[in-house]
Amino acid sequence: MVTMSTAPKIWTRESGLVEKRDVWAAMKRGFRGRCPRCGEGKLFRAFLKTADNCARCGLDFTPHRADDLPAYLVIVIVGHIVVPAILWIETNYTTPVWLSFVAYLPFTFVASLALLQPVKGAVVGLQWALRMHGFDENPPDGIPPV
């Protein structure tokens, strides 16, 4: 059983001074596949595998926990593009079923693959900017690491 520290935490001016992190800049850098802190190092070492750390600034990427959020966001984004387009085409034009499958399925597949890595990078950038999971230099006491 893990016990929590009951000692009161004393806040000082120095403990409140932390690096300001711009959320939109970090997400934009992550979307481009770059380090959310410096914007120069590569975020990914493979298609969806993040690098262990940034080659330029040394930021550790291992604590990120993107999990399934990028996939859900890609489904929402691509769905909001494809479904209205399909509804508009099918209500205004009469297309054969085979033509519909030949057109819609490859577009949906390619759009999903094209957005998956950038969206994951933006999620990792968001986590870094908001100091989520292990991206905080001073984690609170009593919370075990993931």
pTM of the model: 0.80
Whether 5 is covered by a domain: the verdict is no
Residue 16 lies in a domain: no
Tens of pLDDT along the chain (146 residues) come to: 555 556 665 656 565 556 688 999 999 999 999 999 999 999 999 999 999 999 999 899 988 888 899 999 999 999 999 999 999 999 999 889 899 889 999 999 999 999 999 999 999 999 999 988 778 776 555 555 55
- Count of domains for the chain: 1
Query: Which structural domain range is residue 72 located in?
Result: 21-130
Contacts of 110 (CB under 8 A, 6+ apart): none
The verdict on residue 4 lying in a domain is: no
110 in a domain, yes or no? yes
Asked if residue 96 belongs to a domain, the reply is yes
- Provide the pLDDT for residue 136: 75
For residue 12, being part of any structural domain is answered with no
